[in-house]
Amino acid sequence: HCFDKRLRIFFLHSVYIINLFISFELQFRLGPTLQGKHVLVHTNYPAPGKHFDRHTFQALDWHNPMGREDDSDKFCTLDLQIAGSYQYYFGHGHEEKSGGGYIVVDPVLRAGADNHHVHLDCITIQTYLSKCLGHLDDWPARLRVAKESGYNMIHFTPLQTLGISRSCYSLADQLSLNPEFSPPGKNYTWTEVGELVQKLKKEWNMICITDVVYNHTAANSPWIKEHPECGYNLVNSPHLRSAWVLDRAIWHMTCNMADAKYAAMGLPAQVQNEGHLNAIRNVLWEQVFPKVKLWEFFQVKIESTVEEFRTLLTEGENQKKTGGKQGLKIIQDPKFRRFGNKVDMDSALETFVPHSRSPQAILEACNWLWGRLEEINKEQYQQMLHHQEQAANCIVGNVVYERLADHGPKLGPVTRKDPIVTRYFTFPFEEKSLEDDLPMMDQPDKARHFLAHNGWVMGDDPLRNFAEPGSNVYIRRELICWGDSVKLRYGNKPEDCPYLWAHMQKYTEITAKHFAGVRLDNCHSTPLHVAEYMLDVARVLRPSLYVVAELFTGSEDLDNVFVTKLGITSLIREAMSAGDSHEEGRLVYRYGGEPVGAFVQPSLRPLVPSIAHAMFLDVTHDNECPIQLRSAYDSLPSSAIVSMACCCSGSTRGYDEMVPHQISVVKEERFYPKWNPEAKASSPGEVNLKTGIIAGKLALNKMHQELASKGFNQVYVDQVDEDIVAVTRHCPSTHQSVVAVCRTAFHNPKHHQYRTEVPPMFIPGKIEEVILEARIIDRQAGTYKKCEKYINGMPEYTVEIKEHIQLKDSGVVKHAGVTSKGSSEFVQEIIFERLTPGSVIAFRVSLDPKAQELVGVIRHHLIQFSPKYKPGSLPDQHTPTILETPLAQIMSKLTLGDMNMLLFRCDSEEQEDGGGCYNIPSWTSFKYGGLQGLLSVMADIRPKNDLGHPVCDNLREGDWMIDYVSNRLVCHSGALGEVGKWLKAMFHYLKHIPRYLIPCYFDAILVGAYTTALDTTFNKMSSFVQNGSTFVKLLALGSVQMGGVGSFPALPPLSLELPDIPYRLNKDTGKKEQCCVSLAAGLPHFSSGIFRSWGRDTFIALRGLMLVTGRHLEARNIILAFAGTLRHGLIPNLLGEGICARFNCRDAVWWWLQCIQDYCTLVPEGIAILRCPVVRMYPHDDSEPQSLLTQPLCDVIHEAMTRHMQGIDFRERNAGPKIDMHMKDEGFNIVAKVHRDTGFVYGGNRFNCGTWMDKMGESDKARNKGMPATPRSNSAVLISISNHFWVTFNHHNVIVKVSYEEWNHKILANFEKNFYVSHDEKDPNEKHPDLVHKRGIYKDSHGASSPWCDYQLRPNFCIAMVVAPELFTVERAWKALGMAEKKLLGPLGMKTLDPDDMVYCGVYDNALDNDNYNVARGFNYHQGPEWLWPIGYFLRAKLYFAKKLGKETYEQTVYLVKSILSQHYVHLERSSWKGLPELTNENGQYCPFSCESQAWSISTVLEVLHDI
């Protein structure tokens, strides 16, 4: 399963770490801030056929599979076939690198004669100290212990020649095999080692890795003597000179202590108490520090410096050479000699300036400098005192650990062999006195051999090299030193130390040639660039190099730096870090696997952050033995807990044999025992299955490998009590589980009182078998005695184990009873009898047979959505008829109106049918009753596997949500009811599987149904949508979201003469009625009842949501239905089913006419709509609603135009508080006429608001009630131009003795003259030059009742530019759009008023009622808040005029548009409503009073993409 093509998506934003496997495809996609920009992605992943070079980057090609309208699907891709660590970076514009990160591709490991793949989580590794294996001929017998114990990987400590300390990690020669591996008369080489490794791989199925040590070499390495430049010495690192002096002084202190020379000061050689520790401090402060005077290395020689200064002053040198920056500058002596620091004389001359040239003035300046230098020297002295204080503390702390602490080695008296502290530097010369030593540091031929030792610094920054200048670690004695190793000095590149780099490259090549992987020793202290270089070398020879490391950074972020730069596959983690069983269990959960019952994730999915892959060990070879810290009885249960982790697991040789001490990598010289199946328990040189816990470990290792190979990748950890941990591993396809119950024994049961009663366990499902039950028992084989020759364990313990037995044969379980947990889940209650401390029992658990069958059947029916459900599927023996038909076939019969019911419908829409959206009492309600309501929530839950979410709780607790989903649809007739029946049949199976699996499979069924519904939906739309991007499809979904049929028809009846009118039976009367789709204005506030359909909103949205998406029939029906309501030459704003219509807006009729024109031009043979019959609800202005008169649409259009030319002047029917409780009486008077001179439509008064900016004041407190916030009376820019398109469209007709052509010419001649605000301050057309505050814009209105309103900058002129662009001069239009962009453009919408305007307020709060006239009760609705629908027109206008200005301008504009729209894409994708809001507050802030999804917001953005 590891080699299926799987795809991960990464959205470019900033630095990020990507961890993937070979055979994955990685797609880079643009994050929202990068869309619309010319982005280049570079990577050093090699192009096909090329070799990897870390410094060679290639640019990736972009693919845009869905065309060019936006960047939401644009991607570049990498097919990952080579393991390693790779960099990527991306940039745009002049910025080559805006962000970047690393791609870590994990290797593929293989073993066996068949070269089979070994999954990383299958690995069970055992560490061997190579020096304890003896002659190479004996290795198979000793290594066989690992094979027989069930391990499949061996980790060898370095096999090279060891240094004088005999530490496994202090290598004398990195290139030669340890000669100790060759028996007398033979000289084995790396060839023989390689042959053995291959034998283990092919015959034993075992993979071998070894350490690489880059940070240090043995102090006695021959090559370091020949090439001392490879270490930090006093010649190439003179900053260490003072630390070397202190080190020599402390060495001589050791000699004096050993020789009892401090006895008189109360300091003997044997340090035994606090008094002796104080005596050490006294010696340091009274004899050592004063003698070496370390502060002098950082001080200035005052006399000579002042004399030089005096000479310069006398000679007249006082020019300002440092640019006038005063302040004395001290220059550190690069050779770090005593009093070697210098003064920058230029800074001195500027700082200490004599007031004249007289000798006295010069003397005063010199004295001034002298005083300052004394201060500086004193500061250095004080600084050194701080260093010395820390050094004294560290020295004493070291003495306490090594000689006094119970957990320390208790070294005994101070001797030259065991000095008071480890020396920090090598000293390869004859020992003399300190006075004789010190001159050597000034003799380069000797000083180059004083090499700094390596070690580690507690709490230090691992990315900082503590031996480099700037670090005080050596002088402060903070280094925990390895006196057998010299720290290597690589520099920054191979040229800085050629021999060292070449030497270590050969070492790396030898290792990579013979071993499948490496462990990076001391990784956190190895220079990153060195390890990076060497691993690149290794991967040339072995591309699938397995890299492991143990990091001690203490920071996950720092860990990731090493993991990503080096391509570390697995980080070593240790169970010994856990202080109790609870923490041990937590580590199992943390280091791998998904939770049991996790959701099925799509193959193509975004990357999510994760921690590095773990190699989880019960103990590492570096750390103390668990038997010493816990008890011998804990060896088995803790090992079992580790083995149950869903990651690589392992141990170190000796743990399984129960060796009761740490096997020291430095001091251990004995050999490991060999394998002998017949060995006696008392034999220290041989082991077998009866030794220690080997038999138990064999069973655990086999189980660990089986769990990983068979896909048991889900984990649950249960802390049963303070000592018992139960770990479940679960397979998500077969739903088998393995449950291991481990009773830890951190304390020796012989001395600690454990609870006698063990809590019962309840295991869901049917226990098929006991895989193993084991416990540590005492046996009569003598007690432990340390063998001198072999690393022997404790013979008094062994493991009692049974494997693959039936539950009734268990010696651990007393009783197992079956109980029922609900109707669909069977649970076995386990009562333990002998789960003693140190015991383990593991059960293999299946679902009960009926549940297993039902899960298989569910998976079988889910295969139609994805082949990933084939594993574990079972054919349905009794398939319900409805499930015999693929869901896609059933859904193909749904209309897009049906899809509205299936996918959407908010709570108020649902309530019309007597229902409502599903509510979870402890949480909230879903946004929709349809599938989108659930899927929006699941989209957040699923990637995080948030099984504790209230939705998941609700599903586990009962069938309410399941029944809601199907019952909501089953009650409908036709295909919608069929979909409901399909879901009900699937849910019938779902209800009878274990409750913990219901969230997972409920989600899988819904995802399948949802994706099928989306595919069907898009297939019923235009080719623009079908072939469009994800963004286009998401927007097109708004057509389904807003377009539906409620319980009561929202539209007036259409003429029966029209073809293809949809009908249904009225559920109350049983009679046939029309059921045309209508558009909701916005969700949730304008979605149902009489407030669903609005003329203005409908026709602003209709082009994008209906025409562009290909829903031509529904568009026709909506146009004709509104045509039937024409009255007074207007169509209603609030439709109210036509009966409750209000004719109080002047612009809705023009939006209606605009849509008719768009229909005629966009729909094939669309002009035929002009002859379609319209049922006139109001044949005359004073008619009651009726359906007697039928006219062709063209006549209705002509009537609307004629009435405007004649002049519309009427009072609204039922005027007064009945229809508007806030409006003043004058506001009910409606006027709309045509200006005979200009051709502009004008109307309105200061008490009504006839355009879309229609906020009526509501506050008595603020005294704005009944006052329109934006009356826009007289000629609003949009209406004045909107009539132009129909004038041009009907130029052959004549109305009221004025031809359309003449009307058209008047508008053309007068538009810019009256609406453009010229840069010319003396423009004769400007009636109110005193009101102009912005030039180069278009007025919002002409001839307003309040003249200053004309000059307010608003986004309405952008709409006019799209409707009638020919009225605008290109250059003027472009500059006006630039002003709108600068002043009005927000993240999602357009500010409705210039922020420079005195009444601007960008925060809309309809609940606020105060005495502020401008904002109370949301009076500023259109006075600043950023509305979304105008942005569509703004962008369309930009595109139109950019194209007129040439290719370059157009391309730049397209990038701008894409960049702006990326914000809408992100909002749409993340919105639980899957819509775009009505408006936002200033700067894109969320507005709680806005509709969450607005028809015209979605529509106009979709139109922009259509234009592109």
**Cα–Cα distance between 115 and 198 in angstroms, integer?**
11
Q: How many CA atoms lie within 13 A of 1430 on its CB side?
A: 30
**Cα–Cα distance between 159 and 956 in angstroms, integer?**
56
Query: Tokens 């410094």 belong to which residue?
Result: 55
Q: How many CA atoms lie within 13 A of 1334 on its CB side?
A: 25
Q: How many CA atoms lie within 13 A of 1182 on its CB side?
A: 0
Which candidate in 71, 73, 121, 521 is catalytic?
Answer: 521
Residues 534/508, Cβ–Cβ less than 8 Å: yes
Exposure string over 1405-1430, b if 16+ CB within 10 A, otherwise e: bbebbeeebebbbbbbbbbbbbbbbb
Amino acid code (one letter) for 1484? G
Rg of the chain in Å (alpha carbons): 42
Q: Which whole-number Å values give the CA distances from 1193 to 720, 1049, 1122, 1123, in the listed order?
A: 77, 22, 11, 7
**Cα–Cα distance between 76 and 103 in angstroms, integer?**
15
Please report which helix (H) or strand (E) contains residue 6, including its range: strand 6-12
**Cα–Cα distance between 634 and 1089 in angstroms, integer?**
71
Helix (H, G, I), strand (E, B), or coil: what is residue 771? strand
Q: Token pair of 1404, please? A: 């809309």
Closest by alpha carbon to 1350, among 1252, 1276, 1253?
1276
**Cα–Cα distance between 390 and 475 in angstroms, integer?**
9
Residues 553/462, Cβ–Cβ less than 8 Å: yes
**Cα–Cα distance between 759 and 740 in angstroms, integer?**
15
Active site residue 815: no
Contact residues for 37 (Cβ-Cβ < 8 A; gap 6+): 30, 92, 93, 1455, 1458, 1459
Query: Tokens 């208790």 belong to which residue?
Result: 410
**Cα–Cα distance between 335 and 551 in angstroms, integer?**
35
Exposure string over 1277-1307, b if 16+ CB within 10 A, otherwise e: bbbbbbbbbbbbbbeeeebeeeebeebbebb
Closest by alpha carbon to 126, among 697, 542, 563?
697
Helix (H, G, I), strand (E, B), or coil: what is residue 1230? strand
Query: Tokens 């993991």 belong to which residue?
Result: 563
Which candidate in 155, 239, 453, 524 is catalytic?
Answer: 524
Active site residue 622: yes
Residues 1109/1036, Cβ–Cβ less than 8 Å: yes
Residue 487, φ and ψ in degrees, nearest 5: -75, 135
Q: Token pair of 302, please? A: 């005052």
Residues 203/406, Cβ–Cβ less than 8 Å: no
Pairing of strands 1072-1074, 1063-1065: antiparallel
Q: Which stretches does DSSP call E strand in 1028-1136?
A: 1043-1044, 1063-1065, 1072-1074, 1078-1079, 1082-1083
Q: Which stretches does DSSP call E strand in 108-255?
A: 109-111, 116-118, 124-128, 153-156, 160-162, 171-177, 207-212, 216-218
Active site residue 521: yes
In the chain, % helix, strand, coil (3-state, to 5) comes to 40, 20, 45
Q: Token pair of 224, please? A: 């370091």
Which candidate in 138, 460, 536, 622 is catalytic?
Answer: 622
- Residues annotated as catalytic are 521, 524, 622
